[in-house]
Amino acid sequence: MSKHPETASQTAGPYVHIGCTPNFAGLTGLYENDLGADMATDKAQGARITLSGRIFDGAGDLIHDALVEAWQADAAGRHAGQPGADPHFSGFGRCPCDAETGEFRFKTVKPGPVAWPQGGQQAPHITLWIVARGINIGLHTRVYFADEDVANAQDPVLAEIADNRAATLLARPQSAGDYRLDIHLQGPNETVFFAV
Amino acid sequence: MIRDQSKDAQMQDDDQNAGPYLPRNAASHPAALHPPYRSSRLRSPQAEPITFPSTPSEESGPVFTGDLLGPLDNDLLHNFGPDGQSAIGPRIIVHGRVQDQFGRPVAGALLEVWQANAGGRYRHAKEGYIAPLDPNFGGCGRVMTDTEGRYSFRTVMPGAYPWPNGPNDWRPAHIHFSVFGAGFAQRLITQMYFEGDPLIWRCPIVGAIDDKRAVERLIAPLDMDNTAPMDALAYRFDITLRGREQTLFENRMEGL
Ligand SMILES: [Fe+2]
């Protein structure tokens, strides 16, 4: 039995950029780079992709002030810190939504399939974690790839989700290597969020 | 099903360390929707989140090492002003321990902090409060925990500030914390409050947490034992991150 309750979450608020992406917030000279600005060096293995999108609130309005974090396996399905993981790939990205367009964008590599603890594999996916003013506890979701039909059909997490809602997790290929996915916090297209 | 070597290596690793993360207890956290906090109305998902036992995607996490940190990253008094000039306001030390739900220290946790200056003003493009900026205060810092899970940084006591919510809402003095543990499942952003602040229990953001004890754990007590005499007061803020279930291996070791 655990003895201690987890510390409570509180909203990241509207000024999250000061602490998490100070260079983006105009506080230059503190840190060389904002954390998570680069996920892969030129030497990283695997197919280069971008993942971009926007976030909408329950009124259908674009959210401009969110911060999005990405966490994913490398091209071989290994996470940073595991034996054999690609040393040229951090797996961690952090992107503030653009103040004008609301867009977030990650330059990364296509992740490989990840082991499922009860046996078998999970389809390639990227975990996203979204914080902003009005979000009391960080929103955890996953992005799968719409062009991975076979792997997606066998994915044990997607299998738990009704088909119409699973579509909210599928990034659509655009031009070569570019994927897009919009996130809806409420409404008929509300994105599936997880408590894992 | 095909088992590959990386999976065997992962399972072996887990056997020796820990099992899946304990499920998050929603009662320890604010509700997504708390109407008195106006911004939560359109930004709170309506569907229940979907749960499944943690997998390598949640049990692993970004790897940060000490070489990330600059010498002044944990000194908000001096990390912004030119020529080492100090920020304006009451000098404080904030320190504590990061542990998991079993009380084990979380070593190497990265803590990022941000806050308003002593007058309650943030250095941010979206900030509109009339209190002045302090040319020597940025309001941003970071620190990593040591092998015992301990951290410490210096800063100024942040001021309370009014915010557009109800007709006259004021945030209690607070410091924002972003915390990375070992696994992405432990990812947490929270706020630390200060003992004795009468604004805490009037705040709609705090009020999103139903459990009074969970709020009390966000309130850092004054810690006279760790002050710097003639220099800085101290406040202690301990943080508990999610724990991983004990494994059979560990149970055998401890129980039999
Ligand atoms: Fe704040």
Check which CATH number belongs to the domain holding B142 and give it. 2.60.130.10
CB contact under 8 A, B60 and A26: no
Alpha-carbon distance B212 to nearest alpha carbon in chain A (angstroms)? 11
Q: Which domain holds residue B97?
A: 5-241
Number of domains in chain A: 1
Q: Does the pLDDT at position B13 exceed 70? A: no
* Residue of A4, A63, A127 lying closest to B240 (CB–CB): A4
Question: Which SS3 state, helix, strand or coil, does residue A116 take?
Answer: coil
What pTM did the predictor assign?
0.94
Confirm whether B255 is domain-assigned: no
CB < 8 Å to B185, chain A: 196
Q: What is the β-pairing status of strands B188-194 and A183-184? A: unpaired
CB contact under 8 A, B114 and A129: no
Question: Which SS3 state, helix, strand or coil, does residue B228 take?
Answer: strand
* Residue of A5, A22, A82 lying closest to B10 (CB–CB): A82
Query: Model confidence over B142-197: pLDDT tens digits?
Result: 999 999 999 999 999 999 999 999 999 999 999 999 999 999 999 999 999 999 99
| Residue B134 token pair | 């302090």
CB < 8 Å to B127, chain A: 15
Instruction: Pick the residue from chain B with its C-alpha nearest to A12.
Output: B189
Q: Which of A12-21, A118-127, B9-18, B54-63 has the lowest mean pLDDT?
A: B9-18
Number of domains in chain B: 1
Instruction: Pick the residue from chain A with its C-alpha nearest to B210.
Output: A8
Confirm whether A191 is domain-assigned: no
Q: Which domain holds residue A116?
A: 16-184
The pLDDT of residue B2 is 33
Which of B215, B183, B227, B182 lies closest to B90 in space, CA to CA?
B227
CB contact under 8 A, B44 and A136: yes
The dihedral formed by the CA atoms of B71, B76, B80 and B81, expressed in degrees to the nearest 10? -110
Q: Which of residues 45-104 of A touch B (CB under 8 A)?
A: 57-59, 61, 63, 65, 69, 71-73, 76-84, 90-92, 99
Confirm whether B246 is domain-assigned: no
Mean pLDDT on B101-109: 97
The pLDDT of residue B17 is 56
Whole-number Å distance between alpha carbons of B217 and B231: 26
Which of A126, A9, A147 lies closest to A72 in space, CA to CA?
A126
Alpha-carbon distance A38 to nearest alpha carbon in chain B (angstroms)? 13
CB < 8 Å to B61, chain A: 71, 79, 81
Confirm whether A179 is domain-assigned: yes
pLDDT along chain A (196 residues), means of 10: 90 98 96 97 97 98 98 98 97 97 98 95 98 98 97 96 94 96 97 97
- Other beta carbons within 10 angstroms of residue B142's beta carbon come to 26
Confirm whether A10 is domain-assigned: no
- Other beta carbons within 10 angstroms of residue B31's beta carbon come to 16
CB < 8 Å to B220, chain A: none
For position A111, which CATH number holds? 2.60.130.10
Confirm whether B256 is domain-assigned: no
The Cβ-side half-sphere exposure at B118, using a 13 Å CA radius, reads 16
CB pairs under 8 A between A and B: 289
Query: Model confidence over B192-231: pLDDT tens digits?
Result: 999 999 999 999 999 999 999 999 999 999 999 999 999 9
- B174 CA from centroid of ligand 1 (Å): 6
The pLDDT of residue B249 is 52
CB contact under 8 A, A7 and B240: yes
